[in-house]
Amino acid sequence: MSIRIVGAGLAGCEAAWQTAEHGIETELYEMKPARFSPAHKSAGFAELVCSNSLKAERVESAAGLLKEEMRRLGSLLVPCAFACRVPAGGALAVDRDAFSQMVTEKIRSHPLIHVHTGEVLTVPHGGINIVATGPLTSDALAGEIFSLCGGSLSFYDAAAPIVTAESLNMDRVFSASRYGRGEDDAYLNCPMNKEEYEAFYNELVHAERAPVHGFDTADPKVYEGCMPVEIMAGRGADTIRFGPMKPVGLRDPQTGHRPWAVLQLRRENAEGTLYNLVGFQTNLKFGEQKRVFGMIPGLEHAEFARFGVMHRNTFLNSPEVLSPDFSLRSDPGLFFAGQITGVEGYMESAASGLMAGLNASRRTAGEDPLVLPETTMIGALSRYAASGGEGPFQPMGANFGILPSLDEPIRDKRERYAALAERALKDLEKASGDCARS
């Protein structure tokens, strides 16, 4: 028996790797390069559509713990990410092209994975299937999925621009990581004094935005963690100075002082020829991005390799329809994986793909699903998708707030996170060991 998987993004690739590594013939359907979503640009699998950061690396951080749990469960993407990393201080950032290329090669060369190119128009039925078509699922399939699952929820997600290194004015830019943590060449910093910041801020909040279908700027349902910089700026003159432009932990070598505000540029590729504007996801018109971001010292003549864009990001009302193993309650042979299940973020999407792939394999073998304990980051995310939280269902990324408290409270945050991570990994070993023995 084979398993069909639709979508070779982050979740679909992890799912396919799991099913194939469990010895199951896997039919993987991907519409690229025949058709591209508005945010996807390259033909490769596991494309990162915005930032090249997979967030923190330390196991004692929520994002680091998630990656460590995935690694222990046999993830494909986590080792590929480490192999394609570029300097990024305490974060794991990757050369997005090298990363996608490596994942694509691994998937295409697996003897049990058979890749089919073309848009899938209907939800697969019969046998075991996984739908991992992401927040930008093509229209025909999205229509069917959402009528099958009783409608959809959505918000808006934006991507940040990327500029070429050679177009930067290096007389104004300095390289340094915040507080000297990590490699100094990971970030370039564009420092601003008070006057420069105020002039920039004034233009930013008045700049012309690109129209987005159905987007009401009076009540923008944007994801707080990926909010367009101009919308964040509209909340107050200092909001971005305490957000993406915070100058803490940095000293401008030209003045010897902490700047009033800083834009950080993070390396995009191993060669260091491209940099992205950290936290500057935006929906400004392209000409306005050039004009307004060009006011930032160092970016006066910046050449944009990619402009920022904003897109609708659609997901299921999962607590109404999904089980914690990511299968549909009304059809246990049909699994969903990735951002469409209401997890938020690259690695969270991949983790749900891993679990959907693993449980689809177990179902094929007639075994009970593996639902990890909620003390693990993946277990907590799975339960969140299946049960939701307080109030209307909102996408959720990895964070320690979704794990149950420790039996013995620890006041110090670092120590508490370390204890939560230790408990998670211990419980993960036990659950996956028990499951391997069953």
Ligand X SMILES: Cc1cc2nc3c(=O)[nH]c(=O)nc-3n(C[C@H](O)[C@H](O)[C@H](O)COP(=O)(O)OP(=O)(O)OC[C@H]3O[C@@H](n4cnc5c(N)ncnc54)[C@H](O)[C@@H]3O)c2cc1C
Provide the binding-site residues for ligand X, judged by CB under 6 A.
6-12, 29-32, 37, 39-40, 49-51, 119-120, 132-138, 141, 157, 159, 226, 311, 313, 338-340, 345-346, 349
Q: Residue 338 — left, alpha, or beta (φ > 0 → left; ψ -120 to 50 → alpha)?
A: left
Q: Which residues pair with 175 in a beta bridge?
A: 188
Between 91 and 421, CB nearer to ligand X: 91
Between 63 and 186, CB nearer to ligand X: 63
CA gap 312, 156 in Å, rounded: 5
How near is the Cβ of 26 to ligand X at its closest, in Å? 15
- Cβ-Cβ contacts under 8 Å for 148 (sequence gap 6 or more): 123, 328
CA gap 113, 430 in Å, rounded: 30
Between 40 and 110, CB nearer to ligand X: 40
CA 350 to chain centre: 9
How near is the Cβ of 35 to ligand X at its closest, in Å? 7
How near is the Cβ of 142 to ligand X at its closest, in Å? 8
Reduced to 3 states (helix: H, G, I; strand: E, B; else coil), residue 146 is helix
How near is the Cβ of 158 to ligand X at its closest, in Å? 6
Instruction: Give me the half-sphere count of Cα atoms (radius 13 Å) on the Cβ side of residue 249.
Output: 16
Between 154 and 239, CB nearer to ligand X: 154
How near is the Cβ of 51 to ligand X at its closest, in Å? 3
Q: Residue 179 — left, alpha, or beta (φ > 0 → left; ψ -120 to 50 → alpha)?
A: left
How near is the Cβ of 34 to ligand X at its closest, in Å? 9
Between 201 and 336, CB nearer to ligand X: 336
Provide the 10 A C-beta neighbour count for residue 425: 18
CA gap 87, 267 in Å, rounded: 7
Q: Are strands 25-30 and 113-117 parallel, antiparallel or unpaired?
A: parallel
Burial class (CB in 10 A: 0-12, 13-18, 19+), 122: exposed
Give, in degrees to the nearest 5, the angle at Cα 16 between 12 and 19: 140
Between 352 and 432, CB nearer to ligand X: 352
How near is the Cβ of 159 to ligand X at its closest, in Å? 5
Between 9 and 247, CB nearer to ligand X: 9
| 288 contacts 352 by C-beta, under 8 angstroms | no
Between 154 and 202, CB nearer to ligand X: 154
- Which residue sits closest to ligand X, CB atoms considered? 9
How near is the Cβ of 348 to ligand X at its closest, in Å? 7
